[in-house]
Structure 1
Amino acid sequence: MRSAGMRLVRAQWAPLTALAVLMLVSALLAVAVPSRTTAGYDRAAAAAFGADADIHVKGEAGGAAAFAAVPSEAALAANALAWRDRLPRSLAEVTGEPESSVTSPGDRVEGEFRRPRILYLGWEPGAWQRIRFVSGHYPFNKPGQTSGDMNVAIAKRYADQLGYKLGDRIDLGGMSVRVSGLYAPVKADQFWGPRARILHPTIEYLPNSTIEADAGTALIDASAYSRLTRDPHLKLTYDWRFPVRTGVVSAEQTRVMVRDLDAFRSAVEGRADLFPCEVSTALDNRLKEFLGRLHAAQSVVGLAFGGLVAVAAGLLLLAAGLLGERLRPILGVMRARGASLRQLAAPACGLTALAAVPAALLGYAAGRLLDAGPPQTASLVAIGLLVLAALGVSAVMVLRERGGGLGSVTERRDDLVAARPSRRRLVMDGLLVVLAMIGVVLLRERGASAGTDPLVAAVPALLGAALGVLVLRAYPYLLRAAGPLLRRRTGAVAFIGLARASRQNLVGALPLAVLLLAATIAGFTSTVDTALRNGQERASWAETGAEARVEAGSLDEAGLRRIRAVPGVTGAVRVKVIVQASSATDQAPMTVVGVDLDAYRRLAPEVPGIPDTSGALVSPLAARTLGSGTVTLSRAGMDPVTVEPSGQIARFPGQEKNSAFVIVPYRTVASATGFPSHVFVAGDHIDVKALRAAAPGDDIVLRQRVLREMTGLPLVSVVHETFRNGALAGGVYGLLAVLLVLVVGARARGRMTAHLRALGLSRRQSRRLALVEIAPVLLCAVGAGWVLGLLLPEITGPAVDLRPYTGGFAVTAHVPGLPALLGLLAALLLAAAAAVAVDRAFDADPGNALRTGD
């Protein structure tokens, strides 16, 4: 029995090897691709957090209440531990040990300096382990001291830059401090990130003014802190900082962190045994922005992944079906000799399991060894479904023999053209089409809220399968219609090739469904990828307003001429920006933008959303403020401007989105002086250094830099990489489907061509015959699938929302780029080349292939 099984394995080595290789590759991709994508999401989450995303618990207190709550360093540390115990799990997992500090309000240093100085006094227990004294000593103060100079320590770099030395006295108005030690940091540490004032001077503004000042922090000891709490009017800032360890942040944690941040705020505000505190962090906006981008990425990537799993499953079904077709004569003979269905299952399902199960395990192990990212449960589910699908085909092949006898092999014809579908199959096909339609309707109704729902991932597979059913229904009629036309041709190659294509059964036509799904995924990913790039291009024009935008504090005609004279500049349009203007009836501030719209449209026609009018335009917020009538706007330094809105404009380059602004002709504000100007610069290969030299001290916004920032977002690279890999994987799977069918059926086809060669068919005609046989499947499947892929973004509608990556601009132009079209043509040529290569490899000499009597 064992030798019979080995003979069966040797006889079917080609389909078994093909099934094993395909299962190995599919399992490897099912592990590596989701893990790699998840790792990309995690890297994007860490990048979105940034270096200053720490969580702070801050409170203000002074006098006896402050000292009673925090009398010592031990009490300060105990409160830090109490806050840590209140941290929700998701926040505790990504934060390090708490760091405590107490800081006094900034006092202005008495004296005459080049720039005013502000000095803070900081009690930083965690700083002492991270510094070394360059000169002097620790700033000891006598316990209970209430008068005299307070000893402090300052950074050596701070002292050198501002001219202080050891023993200097610094007068802070109501109090004076004396420098008792100069220190330097031991090494670079994340601790110093939010505490730059301790190491060197920083630029701050004096309270309630725009005057810049040099700010620094001097370190004090516990006795000095106790002295500060004796002043009931002095409010000290208590800060317990929880540094975020970005290296351990995962994308999935961010969903929970948004909710847990609110819970932590409630816990902090509800604490009754301490002075009032609140949570301060930059994570709120960053998490919401990241989650919006993550949601969009997972939606479109889920569509691509679902389609690829369907393609892989279709290819494995094809391989298992071809193996079943090779086993069909053997199963028929066994059934004719009295074998039961259970006995037939041993060779059929056993061979499939022998090829599929070890290959799936090996593929999973290889995927984990690649260490592309964290393991995903979805990978195990996908591999299990693929193995079950392959075994299911073998079970179906066994059930086909329940009628019994050799008649199951010799009498039935299931050619695509000749066979008539049963009622059961028609009902199943109809249910599949209805299910696809229901999935699309539900997906469009749920819109962007669908997210990573399995329904999103299933839509491409459902639509592809439904379209495949329709194509399979139309495929025989297309072949029948082409038959009479080819009979009129003088050559026999086209007619014979079409006849061979017509004699294929359902298993032989499975490549049509696989190719259709592969072309759908390739078309979808390439189309959305191109649309995303085009949307980011439009967004960069809308953000910048031209190839460059110069934001000048003030600009005269000479400055404008210098900008126009920069090498590469072909044109420049000046825009005057007047902020804080208002009407007499409503004092709500708004911005008046003076620009020659006709000249601006000629300068930068690529900027979207600029109405074709030369009158006054108002933003939606300004329209609600001004109303629909004529309004006069004015402010100091500007002559009153009468505004009669002729339309609305959603956004204008250089103005904040959803802000209140009015666009007026430049001539109406040309006489206003002392207001900033924007200069929109057009050109090709603009000399940026020369442009900066022509506008010294002014901010310059470059469109290419804005575009790089948009495309350089970590999640954008994950989406682009997934789309590129999805298109390549779809193409490779499609070619493997073609190659599989060609190789498995090559021996039988070789015997057929040997008969034709004996009748006079030449080698060249044999190559052409191979192309004609495969052409109907290629053209029908790839054509239908490619069209579905182009329409899929429109079909899925709001579920594919790329606005988080395009500055809010909707991406609607779903047209594949030139590389995608060239890739499609290359795939078709490769499929044709594979057909010719297999025909040549299995070309048999008629004298050796034909037996006596043939």
Structure 2
Amino acid sequence: MDGPWTRLARAQRAPLAALALLALATALLAVLVPARIAAGYDRAAGATVSGADVRVEARADASDVGREMPTPSDVQGLGVTWQTALPEGLRDAVGPPETSVATNELAVAGDRPEPHLATLAWDPGANARVRFAAGAAPVNELSDDSDDDRGREIGVAVPKAYADALGYRVGRLVNLGERFPEDPLKVRITGLYVPVNAADPYWRSRADMLRVRTELRGEGVRVHTGTWLTDLGGYVRLTDETAERRLTIVWRFPIRSEAVGAGRVSGMAADLEAYHTAVKSAGAGTIEVSVASGLDGPLKSYAGQLRTARAVIGLTLSGLAGVAAGVLLLGAGLLAERLRPPLGTMRARGASLRQLAVPACGLVALAVLPAAALGAGLGLLLDAGPPQAQSAYAGAALLLAVLAVPVALVLREHGAGPPSATGRRDDLAAARPSRRRLVLEALLVALAAIGVVLLRERGAGAGTDPLVSAVPVLLGVACGMVVLRVYPYLLRALGRVLRRGTGAVAFLGVARASRQHPITALPLVVLLLAAAVAGFGATVQAALERGQDRAAWAAVGGDARIAAERLDPGAVARVRALRGVRDAVPARVVHDLRPGTGPVRVTLIAIDLAAYQRIAPGRLPAHPRGALLSPAAARELGTGPVTLGSPTFPSIRVEPSGRIDHFPGEQPGTPFVVVPYRALTGIEAVPSEVFVRGDPGEAALRGALQASVPRDVTGGDIYQTVQIRRDVLRGLTGAPMVGVVHGAFRDAALIGAGYGLLAVLLVLTVEARARGRGLAHLHVLGLSRRQSRALALVEIGPVLLCAAAAGWTLGLLLPRITGPVVDLGPYTGGFAVANHAVDPAALPALLGVLLLAAAAAVAVDRAFDTRHDLAGVLRTGE
């Protein structure tokens, strides 16, 4: 049946199909993009708390533990009680309790030059994750009525690495507890074990069960420590002992990273506080219990990163939504212009408001609504992440905006009088803004100004406010309005200049661009917003990279740094001799020095600042007359000379001559003093750190460190470190939330560029036939095919260049305008990021998009070339 609806739809099939495809793509992206970002937030949350736990700990004498929890089942049953007391949100995020009981460090009896300490532990989870390389697992009877020595022994299993390093063998009897030689704890080694899977996350918090740990204690004395495993019967015997021994009972609840999302993280801090109170109130009889957790730091770090990410990505997504809205409105506006002639004819024949509304609104609804529903359905089927409410809000707002266009057209046509016979042109160069448009533009400018003011007043928490998040869109639209006002004048001025030239193509192109209908200039606003989104993302990413690089320098102080309690005097020479090392500077760091009066503890750093300038130029003040004090040290020590010292370090006189805000390895806010290296004399001038310039490799540096540490202090895990700046930088840039932010910027730039190209193609395609009729006359006058392609470029060129220049400039300024929101400190270790200069590498990408748009113009011109049928086109035009 060929009715009026069918004929009208067939006549407008091209713009209807384009509008349907735009609605489908926009609905699909409205579901996919927020869901993908939300999934990234959840993955980052899980990665942040990975390996963390919640622990309930009890420390008591062995006799008290024996009275309150005489059997292992009592200990495990209490773990179920603590699990039940967990708040619901925290309970769903943790695994089952991992119970363990351990003694305090017990001295191993024997005549050795270096102390050996052992901790006995009953850990069912660890026992199930080891295999025995020698001997067998300990088997201790749960009850023992024997009075002989063999009956009072406790069988234990020792890590093979510990036994190999310190010479323990299966069957050896060891006495523990030198403080009570008259009643030592006798243990017999029944087996040597190795882990079934050393990479099992279970061992992350139990490293001492797998190796020997050697560290310096007291006056530089090496102490070897480790943990030995026993069984159920061993636990009973430990609690039956009457010697003064302390036991630590731990019920560990590991965090299940897969069960933690961004929504749950926000409430975990409050749940922890509530759990502290609940456990303290419940208690365990006469034994005091407490809650310990390593979650506080990760939760705080994640909260700061999430707040910044939501603010920055919110600004980006709002700009992207503005681009999508602009393209949809452009498609609907072009369709409305195509519908004006038939609607005008219907109105002239006496059609009512309903008769005008049904075909206009019905066609748009039939094109948009099914396509949008299909796009949303596809987005949900792809399951990129949890569906977001903002997707529904954004999709509904965009659909309402599109459906409002035919309604406005119908109202305009129904209320319009007879066509004007003045012959006045209605194009870019001659159009005059109405009062309604002036009021609308003033309102947009006012909203943009209000949004900027609110954003800067509310600071970092302002990114979730809808009005504040819409600031990029409001600024982009306001900037677009300004450019549209200036654009006709630019075309007129350019036309007057080209009129004097000898070539006709450039002048004709500018003239045709100025004679276009105002609606064909709407891609300028869309392209401007897309360029602003890309410029904003490129600027923030460049600032983030520079801030992270600065944070890595601040942490390491050079390309690398090696440190120990004390290095050999020839350490610097050995490091300088390594392949890849270009320079090395020694430093001596001494902690816990005190002035003559007052309780403050200060860190002394002795280094040759002039030499350090070669390692890290411009990082520290050069050639000070005396000592440099951190702000905290200046507050505590004052501005006059002061003497610092300790029982293990001779006194040194410090004469302040300036301030220093940061020094590598020192936390902000800590009191430290930097003095020239020559201030140290004698034995105290032995370095403890070496700052390296170059790239010798971590293995080479570790080898030089081992060779440079005096034999009497080797093996200290805590006191020997090698830091590589690129590794620290990799840790910053590889943080999960950083990947989410980078991914959001990348997707926004690609989607914005795609929408911009679609806007250009839409206008070119819809107006191609009308343009073909105009070019037909020029072809008759001798316009060649090559000149036709050049004419297409000249026509689209002013719009592309104005939009790209204005949008890119706005994007570069947005980080400064939204300064309080774009707080990148959580991603840079707390260092403020003030340099928002864009990375020059982003400019070729912008140029590439402009070239694609120009290529699209040439392709459309070629597709609708009218040279093969000039007569038919000219007759159609008549």
State TM-score, norm by structure 1: 0.92
Query: 1:75 is matched with which residue?
Result: 74
Q: Does 1:743 align with 2:765?
A: yes
**After the TM superposition, which residues 209-228 of structure 1 pair with which residues of structure 2 at under 5 Å, given as runs?**
211-221=222-232, 225=236, 228=239
Describe the SS at the equivalent of 1:59.
strand
Residue 580 of structure 2: aligned partner = 568
Aligned counterparts, 1:432-511, within 5 A: 432-511=444-523
Q: 1:118 to 1:504 in 2, by over 3 A?
A: same
- Residue 202 of structure 1: how far off its partner (Å): 5.2
Structure 1 letter corresponding to 2:330: L
Of residues 401, 404, 413, the one that matches 1:392 is: 404
CA distance in 2, matches of 1:664, 1:814: 34
Q: How far apart are the structure 2 equivalents of 1:691 and 1:213?
A: 25
Alignment of structure 1 residues 163-202 onto 2, 5 Å: 168-173=172-177, 174-177=183-186, 179=188, 182=191, 188=197, 190-197=201-208
Structural mapping, 1:249-398, within 5 Å: 249-271=260-282, 274=285, 275-398=287-410
Q: CA separation of 1:81/1:208 partners in 2, compared to 1, >3 Å: closer, same or farther?
A: farther
Q: Secondary structure at the match of 2:593?
A: strand
1:804 is matched with 826
AA at the equivalent of 2:377? A
Q: Which moved more, 1:280-289 or 1:204-213?
A: 204-213
Identity percentage of aligned residues: 50
| Counterpart contact for 1:516–1:786, Cα < 8 Å | yes
1:466-493 superposed Cα distances (whole Å, 9 cap, x missing partner): 1112222222233333333333233333
Deviations 1:280-308 (A, max 9, x none): 11111111112112222222111111111
Shift of 1:519: 0.7
Amino acid across the alignment from 1:601: Q
Aligned to 2:139: 138
Q: Relative to 1, partners in 2 of residues 1:449 and 1:610: Cα closer, same or farther, differing over 3 Å? A: farther
Report the equivalent of 1:22.
Answer: 22
Distance 2:211 2:593 in 1: 40
- Distance in 2 (CA, whole Å) between partners of 1:127 and 1:682 is 44
1:205 shift after superposition: 7.5
Q: CA deviation at 1:49?
A: 1.4
Q: Which amino acid aligns with 2:269?
A: V
The alpha-carbon distance between structure 1 residues 612 and 326, as it changes in their structure 2 partners (threshold 3 A), is: farther
Structure 2: state its 5+ residue gaps. Answer: 178-182, 708-719
Q: Which moved more, 1:118-127 or 1:797-806?
A: 118-127
Q: 1:193-217: CA deviations, max 9, x gaps?
A: 5445556655577899853224223
Does 1:850 find its partner at 2:874?
Answer: yes
Q: 1:814 to 1:756 in 2, by over 3 A?
A: same
Q: Given the superposition, is the C-alpha separation of residues 507 and 707 from structure 1 closer, same or farther in structure 2, using an over 3 Å criterion?
A: same
Say which SS state the counterpart of residue 825 (structure 1) adopts: helix
Structure 2 CA distance for aligned equivalents of residues 231 and 139 of structure 1: 18
SS at match of 1:421: coil
1:751 Cα deviation from its structure 2 partner? 0.9
Corresponding residue to 2:742 among 696, 704, 720? 720
- Answering whether residue 242 of structure 2 is matched by residue 243 of structure 1, we say no
**CA shift for structure 1 position 829:** 1.7
Give the direction of change, closer, same or farther, for the CA distance of 1:818–1:648 in structure 2 (3 Å limit).
same
SS in 1 for 2:658: strand
Determine helix, strand or coil for the equivalent of 1:798. coil
Residue of structure 1 in register with 2:5 after alignment = 5
Q: 1:603 to 1:454 in 2, by over 3 A?
A: same
CA contact (8 A) 2:108 2:175 kept: yes
Choose 449-458 or 670-679, whichever is displaced more. 670-679
Deviation string 1:668-699 (CA, Å, 9 cap, x unpaired) is 2254526533332224x546555444443564
Q: Which moved more, 1:167-176 or 1:243-252?
A: 167-176
In the alignment, which of 838, 842, 854 is matched to residue 832 of structure 1?
Answer: 854
User: CA separation in 1, counterparts of 2:484 and 2:247?
Assistant: 78
Does the CA-based 8 Å contact 1:167-1:178 persist in structure 2?
A: no
Q: Cα offset for 1:819?
A: 2.1
Shift of 1:657: 2.7
Is 1:665 aligned with 2:669?
Answer: no
2:712 matched residue in structure 1: none
Q: CA contact under 8 A between 1:531 and 1:811: conserved in structure 2?
A: yes
- When residues 108 and 569 of structure 1 are mapped into structure 2, their CA distance, relative to the original with a 3 A threshold, is closer
1:682 maps to what in 2?
Answer: 693
Give unpaired runs (5+ residues) of structure 1. none
Report the CA distance shift for 1:579/1:206 in structure 2 as closer, same or farther (over 3 A): closer
TM-fit CA distance, 1:433: 0.5
Equivalent position amino acid for 1:522 in 2: A
Q: CA offsets, 1:501-529, max 9 Å, x none? A: 22333422211110110010011111111
Secondary structure at the residue paired with 1:517? Answer: helix
Measured in 2, the distance between the counterparts of 1:224 and 1:486 equals 96
Q: Take 2:218 and 2:683, find their aligned partners in 1: how far apart are those partners?
A: 30
Q: Is the 8 A contact 1:103 1:122 kept in 2?
A: yes
Task: Tell me if the contact between 1:62 and 1:231 (Cα under 8 Å) persists in the aligned partners.
Answer: no
CA distance in 2, matches of 1:699, 1:521: 43
C-alpha distance in structure 2 between counterparts of 1:647 and 1:270, whole Å? 52
**Deviation of the 1:131 alpha carbon:** 6.6
Looking at structure 2, the residues matched to 555 and 151 of structure 1 have their Cα atoms a distance apart, in angstroms, of 44
2:818 partner SS: helix
Structure 1 counterpart of 2:68, which letter?
A
What is the total number of aligned residue pairs between the two structures? 851
Say if 2:584 and 2:693, in contact at 8 Å, map to a contact too: yes
Equivalent position amino acid for 1:42 in 2 = D
Shift in Å, 1:836: 1.6
- Check conservation: 1:155, 1:199, Cα contact below 8 A: no
Instruction: Kindly provide the CA deviation profile for residues 202-259 of structure 1, in whole angstroms up to 9, marking residues without a partner as x.
Output: 5577899853224223324368527625638444322222121112211221111011
Contact 1:580–1:589, Cα closer than 8 Å, also in 2: yes
CA distance in 1 between counterparts of 2:877 and 2:856 reads 33
Is the 8 Å Cα contact of residues 117 and 223 (structure 2) preserved in structure 1?
A: no
Bigger drift between 106-115 and 92-101 goes to 106-115
2:525 matches 1:513: yes
2:534 to 519, 522, 525: 522
SS in structure 1 of the partner of residue 583 of structure 2: strand
Deviation, structure 1 residue 138: 3.2
Equivalent of residue 809 in structure 2, options 787, 810, 818: 787
User: Is the alpha carbon distance of 1:202 and 1:50 closer, same or farther for their aligned partners in structure 2, counting shifts above 3 Å?
Assistant: farther
Summarize the Cα distance change of 1:451–1:179 in structure 2 as closer, same or farther, 3 Å threshold.
farther
Work out whether residues 313 and 386 of structure 1, in 8 Å CA contact, stay in contact via their aligned partners in 2. Answer: yes
Closer, same or farther in 2 for the Cα pair 1:7/1:143, shift >3 Å?
farther
Q: CA 1:520 to 1:236, structure 2 compared with 1: closer, same or farther past 3 Å? A: same
Q: How far off is 1:753 after superposition?
A: 0.5
On the 8 A contact 2:510/2:794 being kept in 1, the answer is yes
**Contact 1:19 1:320 (8 Å CA) reproduced:** yes
Tell me the alpha carbon deviations over residues 106-155 of structure 1, each in whole angstroms, 9 at most, x when there is no partner.
32232346864434444445566667886477321426778854454433
The DSSP-based 3-state class of the residue aligned with 1:818 is: coil
CA spacing shift, 1:559–1:143, aligned 2, 3 Å: closer
2:157 to 130, 155, 158: 155
Match of 1:218, SS state, is strand
Q: CA deviation at 1:554?
A: 4.2
The one-letter amino acid paired with 1:656 is Q
Q: Which moved more, 1:177-186 or 1:839-848?
A: 177-186
Task: Report if the CA contact (8 A) 1:154-1:183 is conserved.
Answer: no
Once the two structures are TM-superposed, the CA of residue 445 in structure 1 deviates from its matched residue by 0.8
Distance 1:398 1:130, change over 3 A: same
Query: Distance between the aligned counterparts of 2:852 and 2:685, measured in 1?
Result: 67
**Secondary structure of the residue that 1:407 maps to in structure 2?**
coil
Q: How far off its partner does 1:273 sit?
A: 6.0
